[in-house]
Structure 1
Amino acid sequence: MIVVEFRLGTPALRETLSRTSEVRVEWERSDTADGERVHLLFWAEADGTDEFGAFEAALEDDPSVTAPTALVEVGGRRLYRAELRGEALERAVYPVLVEIGAVVRAVTVTASGWECHIAFPDRAAVDRFFDHCDEHGVETTVHRLYQERGEGSESSFGLTESQREILAAAVELGYLDVPRRVDLKELGEHLGISDTAASQRFRRGVRALVERTLLAMAGDGRERDDDPPD
C-alpha cells in the first residue's frame, strides 16, 4: 500500500467551521446512495452545550450539507449525520476512493480543508485519485507519501513510530501527570502537529498498546484492518 497524507480543499463543512473554529471535527464514515448522494458521519468535540449549540446552528445554515442530525453523544463528543449538497457534492471524492480501492485511515476537518490519511493499493491508484481532483477543481496539498511495509513498519508492541513517539512525549512532558503539566495543544506543538491530530494519535497509540499487550495476554488480541497507523 502507498500511504498519502494530504489536505483536501473541499467546501464540505467549511462554512460551519469558519464560524465555530473551536469545535474539533473528525470524519467517521461516508456512504453513497443511488449512485449520486453522499452521506457523511462525523464526530464533533466541543467544550460545552453552548459550543454545540453554535455548531448546530452553523450546520443548519451551511450550504454544503442538508438534513444535519445529531445521533448520539459520548463523553463530550457528538456523532452527526448529514448529506452533501451543492458544490460539496459535485466535488465529493469518496466515490472515486471506493472505486480505486483506497482505504481511508483518518480524516480531520477544519475550515482550511480536510486533513486526510489514506492508503492506496498502488501508485496508479494514487495518480488516478489526484488526476480526478485536478480535473474537478479540488485543491490538494500533499504533506507526505510513503510505501507501507506491513508489520515491518511497526515498532515494538505493534506501535507505529509516530504512536511510540507521542506516547513517549506524553510521559516525558507530563501529559499523564496529575495534574497535567502540558495539555494536548502543547503536546501537539512539541511534535509539530495540531491538538486534534495529537488527540487522535494518542488515543490510537493507547488502543494499539492495550490490544496488543493486555488483551493479547488475555487471549483477546484484536487487530482492525481499518485502524489508521498514527
Structure 2
Amino acid sequence: MSVIVELTIPSVEFELGRILRIEEPTQLTLETMVPLGGKPTPFVRIQNEVRETFERSVREHPSVNDIQLVDTHEDETLYALNWDPSEASLLRRILDLDAVLLGATGTADTWGLELRFPSHEALSSFQEFYLDEDIDVSIERIYNPTKPDAGPWYGMTPPQRETLAAAVEAGYYSLPRQISTQELADSFGISDQAVTERLRRGISTLVLNTLLVDEPDE
C-alpha cells in the first residue's frame, strides 16, 4: 500500500540545495523530476528577477553539465538541470525506490519535499538510507491516502487545492468554459502559467492518490 511523506531538509545537506543556491526571500519550485540517461533530471521554476545570478551560480557548480531554459512566462522561468548526481544522491535513491515526487519547494535555508512511496517497505529503505548517510531529514508527516486520517485533500498542496476548487466552482471545466486560466490567474495574483501548473499538478496528485492508489492487502 502506498504512503505519502512530507519532509524537510537543510539546503546545505541537500545536493540540489547546494547547487541551486538562492538568497532570501527567493523561493524556487521543483516542478518534476524524471530519469533521463540513467540520472534524475530536475525541472526547476524560479522568479525572473533573480534569473541571471541564479543561472551563473548554478553553471559554476562542478557537478552541473548544463542548465537549459525550457520555458519562460511573465515573471517566471522553467529550467532543466543536467547534472551528475553521486551514487549517494538523495534524489537517485528516491528514484531507485520508485517513489514519486509530488512537490518540492526550496529556500536559502531549507527544502520541503512531498514524496509518494509505493509501500511502507520502500519508505523504510529510504529512512535507512538517509540515516546511514547522516543526512538531517525531518519527517513532518506520514500518511496513507486511502485511510480516513489522511485528510480530505489526498496529497494536494493548499495552493493546488485552492486553485482546482476555484476552477471547478468558476466553471473552468464546464461546457462551454466560463472562465479562462488568465482570469483565474488574475484572481490569485499569479501568472497564467502558474495557474496551469497548479491545475496540472493538482489533478495528477489527486488521480495518483485516489484512482491509481494500490488496493489494500486482503
TM-score (norm 2): 0.66
Aligned with residue 35 of structure 2, among 21, 32, 36: 32
In the TM superposition, residue 68 of structure 1 has moved relative to its aligned partner by 1.3
Structure 1 vs Structure 2 CA RMSD = 3.4
Greater RCO, 1 or 2 (C-alpha within 8 Å, sep 6+) = 2
User: AA paired with 1:21?
Assistant: E
Aligned 1:15-164 pairs, distance under 5 A: 16-18=20-22, 20-35=23-38, 37-46=39-48, 48=49, 51-85=50-84, 88-149=85-146, 155=152, 160=153
Deviations 1:167-207 (A, max 9, x none): xxxxxxxxxxxxxxxxxxxxxxxxxxxxxxxxx632x1233
Q: Are 1:206 and 2:210 counterparts?
A: no
User: AA paired with 2:61?
Assistant: D
User: AA paired with 1:6?
Assistant: L
Aligned 1:1-16 pairs, distance under 5 A: 1-8=2-9, 9-14=13-18, 16=20
User: AA paired with 1:218?
Assistant: L
Distance 2:15 2:149 in 1: 38
In the TM superposition, residue 6 of structure 1 has moved relative to its aligned partner by 0.5
Distance 1:141 1:93 in 2: 14
- Whether the 8 Å contact between 2:30 and 2:43 is mirrored in structure 1 is yes
Q: How many residues align?
A: 181
Moved more, 68-77 or 209-218: 209-218
Unpaired stretches in structure 2, ≥5 consecutive residues: 178-199, 210-218
TM-score (norm 1): 0.63
User: AA paired with 1:60?
Assistant: R
Distance 1:209 1:125 in 2: 32
- Whether the 8 Å contact between 2:35 and 2:95 is mirrored in structure 1 is no
In the TM superposition, residue 59 of structure 1 has moved relative to its aligned partner by 1.5
SS where residue 203 of structure 2 aligns?
coil
- Whether the 8 Å contact between 1:25 and 1:43 is mirrored in structure 2 is yes
SS where residue 16 of structure 2 aligns?
coil
User: AA paired with 2:56?
Assistant: A
Distance 1:99 1:121 in 2: 11
Task: Label 1:2 to 1:72 Cα distance change in 2 as closer, same or farther (>3 A).
Answer: same
- Whether the 8 Å contact between 1:2 and 1:121 is mirrored in structure 2 is yes
User: AA paired with 2:204?
Assistant: D
In the TM superposition, residue 219 of structure 1 has moved relative to its aligned partner by 8.6
Task: Label 1:34 to 1:58 Cα distance change in 2 as closer, same or farther (>3 A).
Answer: closer
Give the number of the structure whose residues are more often helix, by fraction: 1
Percent identity of paired positions between Structure 1 and Structure 2: 14
Distance 2:43 2:102 in 1: 15
